[in-house]
Amino acid sequence: MAKQSKGIPTALLAVVIAIAAYWYWSPLLVVHQMKEAVRVHDVEAFNSHVDFPALRENMKDDIAGKPNDDALSGFGRLLGGVVVDALVRPEAVMLVLEHGDFAKKRKDRHEDRDAREQERERDDEPPSGEKRPKWVTERDGVNRYIVRNDKIALVFVRNGFADWKLSEFRL
């Protein structure tokens, strides 16, 4: 009986440690799932990790500044809103993750489709002449996770216990 009573606390401790580890590393799992969705062009899986309304609103705020009574600021916000609404679509956001910024042209994307297929077959080696961005991660408190390179930062916000949503780009 004594051995059985020691086993229960040990098993309970192992479960608690496993749950805590999952909670801590959950943003990395979400980033990996998003990268995989980008790689196979699975828009539905990708969209499940993006908060598009928050992403659009944060980009509008960055472009036009915070709303106030100034008429020029209101016009800038309206114009910025039109641009943001056009840019913040699943395809565009996936393109940012795939290439590390907004600069990759749509024409290049179509021309590189065959190259990407060959790339997948070579275990994700980048095509010759193309450099993949180096992504760095950091935590900003317990509810914010930032993935950045030298051109852009992607801000993820906790959504529930261990799910994360992309909610902001920082250019």
Amino acid at 92: A
Among residues 96, 76, 98, 100, the alpha carbon closest in space to that of 150 is found at 100
Instruction: Give the residue numbers spanning the domain of 119.
Output: 2-49+89-170
- For residue 114, being part of any structural domain is answered with yes
Tokens representing residue 51 in the block: 């908060």
- For residue 131, being part of any structural domain is answered with yes
- For residue 60, being part of any structural domain is answered with no
Contact (CB, 8 A) for 93 and 166 = yes
Strand-pair partners of 34: none
pLDDT in tens, 111-156: 455 555 555 444 444 444 456 668 889 999 999 999 988 888 899 9
Split into its structural domains, the chain has a count of 1
- For residue 82, being part of any structural domain is answered with no
- For residue 122, being part of any structural domain is answered with yes
Contact (CB, 8 A) for 166 and 148 = no
Contact (CB, 8 A) for 46 and 36 = no
Tokens representing residue 97 in the block: 């993750």
- For residue 57, being part of any structural domain is answered with no
Predicted TM-score of the model (pTM): 0.69
- For residue 64, being part of any structural domain is answered with no
pLDDT in tens, 62-115: 766 555 555 556 666 666 667 777 778 888 788 877 776 655 544 444 445 555
